[in-house]
Amino acid sequence: RWDRKTGFELFEKRIGLIGLGRIGQEVARRARAFGMEVHAFGNYWPDVFATEFGIIRHPSLDSLFAAVDIISPHTNLTDDTLHCIDTRRLAMMPEGSWVINTGRGELIDQTAVIAALDSGKLAGYAADVLDEEPPAADHPLLHHPKVIITPHIGSRTFESVPRQAMKSLTNLINALKGEGETNCANGVI
pLDDT digits (tens, 9 = 90+) for 8-65: 899 999 999 999 999 999 999 999 999 999 999 999 999 999 999 999 999 999 999 9
Q: Which is more confidently placed, 187 or 132?
A: 132
Please report the sign of the dihedral spanned by the C-alpha atoms of residue 30, residue 32, residue 35, residue 36: positive
Q: Is 26 left (phi over 0), alpha (psi -120 to 50) or beta?
A: alpha
Return the CATH class of domain 14-156: alpha beta
Question: What span, in angstroms and rounded, lies between the C-alpha atoms of 143 and 141?
Answer: 6
In this prediction the pTM is: 0.85
pLDDT digits (tens, 9 = 90+) for 123-155: 999 999 998 888 889 999 999 999 999 887 767
pLDDT grade for 185, boundaries at 50, 70 and 90? low
What is the set of active-site residues? 104, 133, 152
